[in-house]
Amino acid sequence: MFKKLSLLLAAGLLTGLHSIHAQETLFRQVADTKTDTHVEAIGLFSSPSLGGYHPVRVVISNNQARPHSVALDFTDATSYDDSLSSSSSFRFTAEPGTTVTHDILVPLCAQNGVMNYNSFVVKLKGSMGETQNNSSSVFTAEQPQVLLSNTLYTPNASALDTAVSAHTGSTSYGSSDEFSSRFDPKQLPDDWRAFSGFDTLILTDTDWALIPPGPRNAIISWLRLGGHLVLYTTTSVTRPAIGIPEDLSFGQVDIQPISQDLRLKAKKTVALVFDKRESNSRIDSVSKDFKRSWPIQDAFGEKSFNYVLFILILIAFGIIVGPVNLFVFAKSGRRHRLFFTTPLISIITSILLIVLIIFQDGFGGEGTRIVLMEVRPDENQNAAFIHQEQFSRTGVMASSGFTIDTPVLIVPVPIDSSRWARFTDNYSTRGNFDLQPDGGKLFASGSWFQSRSEQGQLITAVVPTRGRIEATARPGVLVSTFDFPLETLLYRDSSGQWHRAENVTKGHEIKLSPVDPTMILPTLNEYSARFTKRNRSYFTKIQDRSDHFIALSSSAPAIETHPGIDWKTSTIITGPIAR
């Protein structure tokens, strides 16, 4: 009897755990059972991605006669001892007799490619009580991050997990690697940043039809930034027919047939995600592309250190604090002066060393950034899709924190190990890269820009813009509306003929000169060589489009981060001709 009861309890527990997992509920805290006053947080994806943001829906149902306030504190870490972590906090209130819903984006921790463990923790505090939820996962950095719709997840999850384990040749603590996180098409977030940690989104055409307009536009933005959409369909469909543009900028769409039972060919699907991508995965890029030969870091040069001067000062200090102090400042009969002279000499030497460090390194820092920007005036988008790589070297920093005034994804990237590098692919790397979203702004604090260090970041953004290259009423005549000059402009017309112009300014007709394609190739190669592998693949993908332009500017605005860094910026701009 006891054995049967134990089995029933175990089965009930497993069923309950499975139900919680299926609902993707982080917690549900009941403050008052009589009135069902409660707060709950639900992950809109079944598990967080590796980096990016995790979309969470917070629902507060206040059926009491007094207001309630709650605080949610999140921590995401990539190691067992939280040596690499990111923290954020959110505060909400609910007036008496109201139910309020808030969709938030929780920043996830930076990845350096050597940790294979991820921990996501949320803590609830406030007038509705306290609770906590912990989740963890084991992963490999080489595996693309995938979102799979519930429609396809239910009949295929087990087979896909087995196939991905066979493909990677690894298992996680004896169990198959998980192929994907899952989602409900009707409950998707409407911010592209929610998808920014994922490489591939897989769903059916029926799922696509269920997605509301806001989330659908967010997915299109994610695609333009380099996302990979796999659409399975039982009928013949075209992109325009279902609202997906033919020209997807840096992105990729694969439309695949599927049988009526919605069973996927697991090995083929895994191969499509792993091997048929036009660029390497986001995590693979972050962990590998920047730590060998990063063009902008190489161009920045190495930092030297004046050891000789510091050694001379330390030798002088030893002489003065020793024999000179003992036999001159506090000679025999005046030894009590040692209580004053020794600390004074030490303080003066310390001040001198600090002055020398400031004199050698200075305040703030210098940096280089390269931007790949596509402007899309078509389809009423009026937006710029931005990939920005930046490297900097700092002196003495008053603060490592900064504010970004536009919604972005920013991640530190591991660079080559050196005495100046703080974020590398070593197991000893430490850092708390805290990010706090607030409206459209992002507040960064912690280890981002430390004093006397070298660091690199990768930034992705979508910003509104009216800048474009426009066609005029005169055939073959173009004009720029950008508020900054373009040093060089290359234009490929609808017939495939390349044209070139120099020193393009706002409002003035662009003087185009036809050029042979062989004369364009060296310029395109020079532009491409400035980027790391993933962004280079994006540039290669879009450089031969007809009726598009490619321009170089050293005056275009970039995504601003730390104001203490003196940045030098080079921007490659591309996009269709506005007509």
Question: Taking each helix axis from N to C terminus, what angle separates 307-319 and 338-361, rounded to the nearest 10 degrees?
Answer: 170
Q: Kindly report the length of the chain.
A: 579
Say if residues 228 and 198 touch (Cβ distance below 8 Å). Answer: no
- Residue range(s) defining the domain that contains residue 540: 362-579
Pick from 76, 75, 66, 71: which is nearest to 29 by CA? 71
Q: Are 196 and 53 in contact (CB under 8 A)?
A: yes
Answer yes or no: is 75 within a domain. yes
CATH code of the domain covering residue 108: 2.60.40.10
Q: Quick check: is 84 in a domain?
A: yes
Q: How far apart are CA 42 and CA 58, in angstroms?
A: 7
| E strand intervals along 108-177 | 117-126, 131-138, 146-149
Supply the pLDDT for residue 526.
Answer: 92
Query: Cα separations (Å) of 171 from 167, 168, 181?
Result: 10, 8, 17
- Let me know if residue 332 belongs to a domain: no
Instruction: Please give the C-alpha separations between residue 28 and each of 41, 70, 343, in angstroms, as whole numbers.
Output: 7, 13, 59
Residue 186 domain flag: no
> In terms of DSSP bridges, do strands 200-204 and 146-149 run parallel, antiparallel, or are they unpaired?
parallel
Alpha helices per DSSP H over 24-95: none
User: Among residues 138, 160, 192, which one ends one of the domains?
Assistant: 138
Please report whether residue 367 resides in a domain: yes
DSSP state of 202: E
Residue 573 belongs to a domain: yes
Q: What angle do CA 577, 517, 386 make, to 5 degrees?
A: 40
> Torsion-angle region of residue 503: left (phi > 0), alpha (psi -120 to 50) or beta?
left
pLDDT average per 10 residues of sequence, the chain (579 residues): 38 36 78 96 93 96 96 89 89 97 95 80 96 84 90 94 81 60 95 96 96 96 96 90 91 94 94 86 89 87 68 79 77 76 84 71 86 93 96 89 96 91 88 93 94 94 96 90 96 94 95 92 93 94 93 96 95 95
The residue from 87, 116, 138 where one domain ends is 138
21 C-beta neighbours (distance < 10 Å), count: 13
pTM of the model: 0.87
Output phi, psi for 16, to 5 deg: -65, -40
Domain boundary among 138, 165, 189: 138
Let me know if residue 203 belongs to a domain: no
How many structural domains is the chain composed of?
2
Q: How many CB atoms lie within 10 A of CB 516?
A: 9
Q: Is residue 437 part of a domain?
A: yes
pLDDT for position 480 = 97
Q: What are phi and psi of 520, to 5 degrees?
A: -85, -35
Contact yes or no for 257/205 (Cβ under 8 A) = no
